[in-house]
Amino acid sequence: MVEAVEKLTKKSEDPSRWYLQLVRMAKLADYGPVRGTFAIRPYGFAIWERIQRDLDDRFKATGHQNAYFPLLIPESYLKKEAKHVEGFDPELAWVTIGGREELEERLAIRPTSESIICDFYRNWIQSYRDLPLLINQWCNVLRWEKVTRPFLRTSEFLWQEGHTVHATPEEAREEALRMQRVYSDCFHEMLAIPVLTGMKSPSERFAGAIETYTCEGLMGDGRALQAATSHDLGQNFARAFDITFLDENQERVHPYQTSWGFSTRTIGGLILVHGDDRGLKLPPKLAPTQAVIVPIWRGKNKAEVRREAEALYAELQIAGLRMEVDLDEEHSPGWKFNEHELRGVPVRIEIGPKDIEKGQAVLVRRDTAEKEFVPREGLPERLRTLLAEIQENMLVQAREFRDENTRRAESYGEFKEIIEEKRGFVLAPWDGTEETEQKIKEETKATIRLLPDDVREEGKDLVSGKPGATAVFARAY
């Protein structure tokens, strides 16, 4: 019998090693031949597809359409918006040869698509009747990262990027905030991750934006993760790319734009928020497999148990549940239990000769390891209810962890101590200056993750002593 040869490191003992092991052992991703590139394996991609489908439905429900734009961006396009090219310049990868000929102009592999999309919008938008223009694209991008980690920070990654155009600044601002809410709802309802929402500080804004709104999650190791962002671009790109339209007064004016994005780094966040010493722990709404049936047989009863397991599998599939039945004969039931726990399957269904005799099955929760004996005839309904309970419990647990690891610092000494020894989110007044922000970053490696939506308490900055408003600090990925 072939058994597992590698044991998963405990998350509490070495979170970094645990994470890298888990990505490989759960068959989520594998390293590519070029630094910072990764192959997303079928199980990892199935998780991404579930997220993608949920978000795509939300986008379309808010009036957006999908399109696709070119991968290669002429250097001259990037240079049109000075802050934009300055912000991305260290991360750009260039194509300089096509076939065997040196190109007259360098082409950047898209790090994001504002510049190439604006060139199309310049021709597509002529009148106020063409607005609002609400377009999203699903694609890959490339940013030449120095330090990489699967999903969390990779040179090439998958994402969606929305790009919208509006007649007024109010419409653009509302769009940027609406998409932040869409992301926040997806995190809470689908991924069971309770993100904080707010604005980025000016130094942390997207290059070329007048405001950046963010969703920030707290990972299991106490670090923050920027999970999704939405940007109010004002007229910066419209002016740079000469996008104009005739308004209702027949005057030619520049429109207002937004962009917003959500990437595969979210899978890394999902692992870090919910994973434990036994492996992944997937929310039922997101899990590619919501429940796996593991038949337990011995010798003469094998055929009967196998037949009952297959019948139960068909019944639960018909009931609309995403199911697997593990009929592998090479491994023991114990090995299978560990394997499916590692993969994060929300519920394991055990069925053996005694269960068949009693007309029942055993349900085992991945989140709490609790066992429950359920009559066969009521199984589909109970399983559906149980999955909803698990989804809610995972959100509650993640929220409790976040709240327990969110602290207010009353002095700079206390701030440093929390960041170094406890980590998590730290609330403290900030005087609004980049000088103070940079000093804190240099001395503690903590950055301002956001200026929260719902907290505007005044106080004195812990560094400068000047009046300030509450900011949320943390060390981040």
Domain ranges of the chain: 15-274, 291-389, 406-474
Cα–Cα distance measured from residue 88 to residue 206, given in angstroms and rounded to the nearest whole number: 10
Would you state the pLDDT for residue 80?
86
Would you state the pLDDT for residue 75?
93
Identify the band that residue 5 occupies on the pLDDT scale cut at 50, 70 and 90. Answer: very low
pLDDT digits (tens, 9 = 90+) for 376-398: 999 999 999 999 999 999 999 99
pLDDT digits (tens, 9 = 90+) for 75-101: 999 888 767 667 678 889 999 999 999
Instruction: Give the C-alpha distances (Å, rounded to integers) separating 441 from 50, 239, 409, 464.
Output: 36, 34, 16, 14
Give the contacts of 459 (CB within 8 A, at least 6 positions apart).
Answer: 428, 429, 467, 468, 469, 470
- Does the pLDDT of residue 303 top 50, yes or no? yes
- Does the pLDDT of residue 278 top 50, yes or no? yes
- The more confidently predicted of residues 1 and 89 is 89
Identify the band that residue 455 occupies on the pLDDT scale cut at 50, 70 and 90. Answer: low
Task: Give the number of other Cβ atoms within 10 Å of residue 440's Cβ.
Answer: 24
pLDDT digits (tens, 9 = 90+) for 96-116: 999 999 999 999 999 999 999
Q: Return the amino acid letter for 1.
A: M
Q: Return the amino acid letter for 437.
A: E
Would you state the pLDDT for residue 4?
44
- Does the pLDDT of residue 189 top 60, yes or no? yes
Give the percent of the chain with pLDDT over 70: 98
For 291-389, CATH number?
3.40.50.800
Give the percent of the chain with pLDDT over 90: 92
Give the contacts of 182 (CB within 8 A, at least 6 positions apart).
Answer: 55, 58, 59, 62
Question: Token pair for residue 44?
Answer: 């990892």
- Does the pLDDT of residue 163 top 70, yes or no? yes
- Does the pLDDT of residue 375 top 70, yes or no? yes
Cα–Cα distance measured from residue 408 to residue 112, given in angstroms and rounded to the nearest whole number: 36
Q: Which of 383, 319, 322, 385 is nearest to 351 (CA)?
A: 383
Give the contacts of 251 (CB within 8 A, at least 6 positions apart).
Answer: none
Average pLDDT over residues 22-40: 96
Our measurement of the distance from residue 93's CA atom to the centroid of its chain's CA atoms, rounded to an integer in Å, reads: 24
Q: Which of 427, 397, 435 is nearest to 410 (CA)?
A: 427
- Does the pLDDT of residue 3 top 80, yes or no? no
End-to-end C-alpha distance for the chain, whole angstroms: 41
In the chain, what is the greatest distance between 2 CA atoms, to the nearest angstrom? 85
- Does the pLDDT of residue 2 top 60, yes or no? no
Instruction: Tell me which long-range contacts 56-61 makes (C-beta under 8 A, separation of at least 24).
Output: 56/136, 56/138, 56/160, 58/182, 58/185, 58/186, 59/136, 59/160, 59/162, 59/182
Cα–Cα distance measured from residue 99 to residue 92, given in angstroms and rounded to the nearest whole number: 21
CATH fold match for the domains 15-274 and 291-389: no
Return the SS3 of 436: helix
Give the contacts of 467 (CB within 8 A, at least 6 positions apart).
Answer: 429, 431, 458, 459, 460, 461
C-beta separation of 97 from 103 below 8 A = yes
pLDDT digits (tens, 9 = 90+) for 330-342: 999 999 999 999 9
C-beta separation of 2 from 331 below 8 A = yes
- Does the pLDDT of residue 458 top 90, yes or no? no
Q: Return the amino acid letter for 254.
A: H
C-beta separation of 223 from 253 below 8 A = no
Instruction: Please tell me which of 1-5, 122-126, 300-304 the model is most confident about, judged by mean pLDDT.
Output: 122-126
Instruction: Give the C-alpha distances (Å, rounded to integers) separating 369 from 289, 333, 390.
Output: 17, 16, 11
For 406-474, CATH number?
3.30.110.30
Cα–Cα distance measured from residue 428 to residue 407, given in angstroms and rounded to the nearest whole number: 9
Identify the band that residue 415 occupies on the pLDDT scale cut at 50, 70 and 90. Answer: very high
Cα–Cα distance measured from residue 270 to residue 192, given in angstroms and rounded to the nearest whole number: 9
Q: Which of 85, 91, 76 is nearest to 142 (CA)?
A: 91
- Does the pLDDT of residue 134 top 80, yes or no? yes
C-beta separation of 60 from 52 below 8 A = no
Return the SS3 of 290: coil
Topology annotation, domain 15-274: BirA Bifunctional Protein; domain 2 (3.30.930)
pLDDT digits (tens, 9 = 90+) for 423-438: 999 999 999 999 999 9
